[in-house]
Structure 1
Amino acid sequence: MAAEVEYESVLCVKPDVNVYRIPPRASNRAIRAADWKLDAPDWTGRMRVTARGKMAYIKLEDKISGELFAQAPVEQYPGIAIETVSDSSRYFVLRIQDDSGRSAFIGIGFGDRGDAFDFNVALQDHFKWVKQDNEFSKQAQTPDLGPKLDLGFKEGQTITLNIGQSKKRDKSRPQSTGGLGLLPPPPSGKIAPPPSVSSTNNNTEPPTSGRDIGCLLDLDSNDANTLVQPNPPNTNADLWGDFTSDSNQISALFS
């Protein structure tokens, strides 16, 4: 099986960084950048922060040729490989190592506070990813020892599904006819039949008061259901006699 190849990625690049020789630490008190010769840096160049796998590398390189001046491997942050100072946020203590494994402590500083902030955030983001990756690896290697929920059917167990659709009854509103609503039923609960206009019974006799109204109705002797129409009025009668007698008077009003 071939070994997994690790690629190097660039986390941060800052074109200007100053390097200082720092005195040996005499006690456990905090480191102060004011103790360094800040106005006379021992070396000035470019800083490039890279990552290969879970390791980060702080590389100090020449601005023009890119030749490596010093390198600091960082296994964790914050840690012994890089420390902050107590009196400024632009200066750090860096532990550099050569190929033979020898190490030394130097001071580095940025002229701009924003460059120092970017350098700090780049290291924090990388090791935050390393922490999450370690947690995922532990979860993958550790089996789930808790009880498992068995959702399978036991032997002979059945299940019943009701797939019927529910019927919805739509309540229709009564339509109003002629501006009048439907009449409520009588209190007894029985609906009275509508009054008949004409009876089909052969024994029904026409009302005796039919002679007093304009239309004369009578029952024929051959067909009891046949209505006998009244005689038409005399069309030869002079219906316009009164109008013609006064026509001359009416026309005189419009003359």
Structure 2
Amino acid sequence: MSAYESIIFISREVLVYQIPPLRSSKGYCAAEWDVDRPLWRGRLRVLETGADATASRVRCELRLEDNTTGELFASAPYLVTGKGVEQVTDSSRFFVVRVVDGDRHAYLGMGFMERSEALDFNIALQDFKRHANPSAEIIPRSGPHTKEAVKDYSLKEGQTITISLGKGTHVRRSPNPTTKNSALDSGALPFLPPPPSAQQIKDQMRSVTHATEEDDDDDFGDFVS
């Protein structure tokens, strides 16, 4: 695939300053610069480049160029981590950029004439970071590595399980206690006879006693004859 180059931001005039070394861990402060005496002024172009449109191969570069001739004054790579450009702590219009020339690098101040331009510059850098770091976004995946949906294997009401216990022997189990009556009605389990009443028990006892007495009388008659 062919290389591409896209301009994601342009400003016709920015001011560049030589700045003192960083003195505090809190960051750079534009009030310490001589803002009335810029080191250079010219055009800023922010370019997105890459071997192709693959997010892992795109690069971002700030190019400070002469407005008339287009001659390059300095180049500052911008990383997806945010390294390369830092906003000062006391103004929204001023930044510190890390310009690179081969193995050498230096930190320069950069200021915009309008706050709106500084805001657009910030937005362009944030857009590049989102484009170059798609892993920070939720991307649906497809194919063999897609996580399968969880399947519900639980039995629904009214369904039964048939279990084989041997040759021709099957037991049906109902998954829900509420289906017990329907299982009984279908003949899955036999009905138990109701318990005998007290009167029935008395009648049975009388029958047994009467039969015993008749047997005794028959035996005694055979004996005396």
Give the secondary-structure state (helix, strand or coil) at the position aligned to 1:94.
strand
Distance (whole Å) between structure 2 residues aligned to residue 141 and residue 131 of structure 1? 22
Aligned pair in 2 of structure 1 residues 138, 26: CA closer, same or farther (>3 Å)?
A: farther
Which residue of the partner structure matches residue 72 of structure 2?
68
2:83 to 65, 80, 85: 80
> Which residue is equivalent to 1:104?
106
Greater length-normalized contact order (CA 8 Å, ≥ 6 residues apart) = 2
Please state how far the C-alpha of 1:76 moved relative to its aligned partner. 1.7
| Match in the other structure for 2:131 | 129
Q: Percent identity?
A: 40
Cα 1:96/1:138, change in 2 over 3 Å: farther
- Compute the TM-score of the two structures, normalised by the length of structure 1: 0.51
Alignment-derived partner of residue 57 in structure 1 = 61
Q: In structure 2, what is the equivalent of residue 113 of structure 1?
A: 115
Provide closer, same or farther for how the CA distance between residues 43 and 131 of structure 1 changes in structure 2, counting only shifts above 3 A: same
> Aligned residue for 1:32?
29
Q: Relative to 1, partners in 2 of residues 1:101 and 1:114: Cα closer, same or farther, differing over 3 Å?
A: same
CA RMSD of the aligned region, Å? 2.6
The structure that is strand-richer by fraction is: 2
Match status 1:42 vs 2:39:
yes
Q: Distance in 2 between matches of 1:111 and 1:96?
A: 21
Looking at structure 2, the residues matched to 59 and 103 of structure 1 have their Cα atoms a distance apart, in angstroms, of 14
Deviation at 1:140, TM superposition (A): 6.6
In the TM superposition, residue 29 of structure 1 has moved relative to its aligned partner by 2.7
Structure 1, unmatched stretches of 5+, are: 150-255
Q: C-alpha deviations, 1:61-93, integer Å up to 9, x for none?
A: 00100011101111125x221001111000000
Larger radius of gyration: 1
Larger helix proportion of the pair: 2
- Per-residue CA shift, 1:96-133, capped at 9, x if unaligned? 111x2321110000111111111111111122222337
Match of 2:145 in 1: 143
Matched residues, number:
145
TM-score (norm 2): 0.58
Task: Give the aligned residue type for 1:129.
Answer: H
**1:139: how far off?**
4.4
Deviations 1:181-217 (A, max 9, x none): xxxxxxxxxxxxxxxxxxxxxxxxxxxxxxxxxxxxx
